[in-house]
Amino acid sequence: MKVDVDMSICLLHGQCVIAAPQVFSFDDDGGLVWVAEVDEAQRADVEAAADACPEQAILLG
Amino acid sequence: MTAPRITIVGASLAGLRTAEAVHAALPAARITLVGDEPLAPYNRPPLSKEAAETLARDTTAREAVFGKLLLRSKLSPAALSLRLGSGAVALEPGGVRLADGALVPGERVIAATGLRPRRLPLPGAEARRHVLRSFDDLVRLAPSLRPGARMVVIGGGFIGCEIAATGRKLGLEATIVEPSPQPMLRALGPRVAAAMAALHRAHGVVLLTGRSVAGFSDEGVILDDGQALAAEVIVEALGSHPNVEWLAGSGADLRDGVLVDDRMVAPGAEGLMAVGDVARFVNPLFGPEARRTEHWCVPGQTAKRVGETLAAEAAGTALATRFAPMPSFWSDQHGMRLQAFGAPSLADACRVLEGELSLVGRAPVIVEYLRGGEPVGVLGLGANPAALAKARARLDAALTETLTA
């Protein structure tokens, strides 16, 4: 599945980093980085990350 | 077995996430989500921040602003029946009675009725007085957020501080009247609250602490010492009441919300569960006392627990884990992000891990909160998200250790 983050609305709450640490992380400068293509085994974590985003910035495809 | 009917009361974030969790656990369940507002579930935190700013600048932007608040749902219309515009008035055998007289059936009822703002029980200045909990509240408030207008905010908690900061950004004069010695004192503790007070003052907010409102006049607010504050806009931000009146006589413990157990089930009320702001539960990360927690994360966490409970019941198994969710909350004030994890309000001491409190708003600060010498929370003020994430991970490890100890 595809994972994207709309960085025009992301406010770096970091809830996705907690919910799905294998997919979302912060770089040393505090920028959000993520894995753009993940396998189905990670669907539950990635969906939990999207639900936990207060800005609804995570788009799953 | 016939498909169970599950009625969720409160078309809020908590209600929506619970509907999704119920559907995932029991795909055959017939789920109804009842709400008193005529609006589909939406996100409330921006009401005192971005949404207020946007709608104040362009009061015709109502649809665009609401469109951003509207919560995306994973459920198809077929999986979820929405019944909006009439709130619950009573829990009856067999279902939920609505204000319009209808009975919505449900073998299982889940309370997600949340909170309503407290009002000062004083007459006067009604046309100028506002609260900020619903989208309708914002629609009523936004046209008065004009540059040069004088705004008095009664209550220096998060909502009060946020709307004061938004008011300053929009060019209003803003005064906060707060009875305690600092704004956000209970949530942040005296040292951080003092630093936040300094930040507000630096941005032109007049903070009148240790003062309260004695009455209203045609021109504005009258304080306890007789001082009159002229105000075109008055915002009452005095905290909230849990919406539990409809559950009177249900058998549930309704002292401060709905008491629920580790499964989100209300002892004493057959078939009743509760989630979100209205649920009072023990979080074993922070000791044996049951508390309500008014954070954005709680709806999602409690909804997920409802799903786990229903799935375990359906499978005839016990719940595999304890319910011990990590709280988190955030606020944005004067362009600075506050972000907390754990329970800073329970702390008896704090120590600065990074930066200096005198520089709040100008440089990143991370504060650790302690209770009896043990970490109980961490707070970032304009912090680097990566540094804060590391502090949070340490807190998580420390709290989990107390859980298993």
pLDDT digit string, tens, across residues B76-116: 888 999 999 999 999 999 899 999 999 999 999 999 999 99
Mean pLDDT for B268-293 is: 96
Of chain B, the percentage scoring pLDDT greater than 70 comes to: 99
Give the chain B residue nearest A26 (alpha carbons): B386
CATH architecture of A3-60: 2-Layer Sandwich (3.30)
Residues of A in contact with B297 (CB under 8 A): 15, 52
Q: Report the chain A residue with the minimal C-alpha distance to residue B336.
A: A11
Domains and CATH numbers, chain B: 5-38+85-116+241-315 (3.50.50.60), 119-238 (3.50.50.60), 335-404 (3.30.390.30)
| Residue position matching structure tokens 């109804």 | B32
Measured CA to CA, the distance from residue B14 to residue A60 in angstroms comes to 22
Please judge whether A51 and B384 are an interchain contact, meaning their C-beta atoms are less than 8 angstroms apart: no
Instruction: Give dist(CA A51, CA A45) in Å, integer.
Output: 10
**Which residues in chain A have Cβ-Cβ distances shorter than 8 Å to B14?**
none
Judge whether B228 and B215 are in contact, CB under 8 Å.
Answer: no
ipTM score of complex:
0.92
- Residue B234 phi, psi dihedral angles, 5° rounding: -125, 125
Cβ-based contacts under 8 A for chains A and B: 44
Partner-chain contact B296 A26, CB within 8 Å: no
- Nearest chain A alpha carbon to B385: A30
Across the interface, whether the CB atoms of A18 and B392 are under 8 A apart is answered yes
Confidence class for position B403, pLDDT limits 50, 70, 90:
confident
- For chain B, the average pLDDT equals 96
Q: Of B56, B45, B69, which is closest to residue B142 (Cα–Cα)? A: B56
Facing residue for B385 by CB, picked from A26, A47, A54:
A26
Interface of B with A in 255-314 (CB under 8 A): 296-297, 300, 304
B297, B326, B385: residue with CB nearest A30: B385
Question: Is a pLDDT exceeding 70 seen at residue B405?
Answer: no
Contact residues on chain A for B326, CB-CB shorter than 8 A? 18
Local structure of residue B62 (DSSP, 8 states): H
| Confidence tier at B75 by pLDDT (50, 70, 90) | very high
CB contact (8 A) between residue B297 and residue A15: yes
Average pLDDT over every residue of B352-380: 97
Judged by CB atoms closer than 8 Å, whether chains meet at A56 and B328 is answered as no
> Which of B212, B210, B203 minimizes the C-alpha distance to B168?
B203
Phi/psi region, residue B321 (left: phi>0; alpha: psi -120 to 50; beta: rest), is beta
Look at B71 and A14 and tell me if their CB atoms are within 8 Å. no
- 3-state DSSP call for residue B402? helix
Provide, as residue numbers in chain A, all residues whose Cβ is less than 8 Å from the Cβ of B385.
Answer: 12, 14, 17, 26, 30, 32
**Residues near B172 by Cβ (< 8 Å), separated by ≥ 6?**
B145, B146, B147, B148, B149, B150, B151, B233
Q: Does the distance separating the beta carbons of B385 and A54 come in below 8 Å? A: no
The pLDDT of residue B3 is above 90: no
Whose CA is closest to B45, among B382, B335, B272, B330?
B330
A6 Cα to chain B: minimum distance (Å): 13
Cβ atoms of residues B368 and B377 within 8 Å: yes
Provide the residue ranges of all domains of chain A, joining segments of one domain with +.
3-60
Q: What is the pLDDT of residues B182-191, one digit of tens each?
A: 999 999 999 9
Q: Which of B148, B333, B125, B118 is nearest to B234 (CA)?
A: B125
When CB atoms are compared, the residue of A11, A26, A54 closest to B296 is: A54
Contact list in A for residue B380 (CB cut-off 8 A) is none
Q: Which tens digits make up the pLDDT trace of B330-358?
A: 999 999 999 999 999 999 999 999 999 99
Do the beta carbons of residue B359 and residue B381 sit within 8 Å?
no
Give me the residue from A12, A51, A56 closest to B300, CB to CB. Answer: A51
Q: How far is CA B123 from CA B151, B263, B308, B313, in A?
A: 18, 43, 47, 51
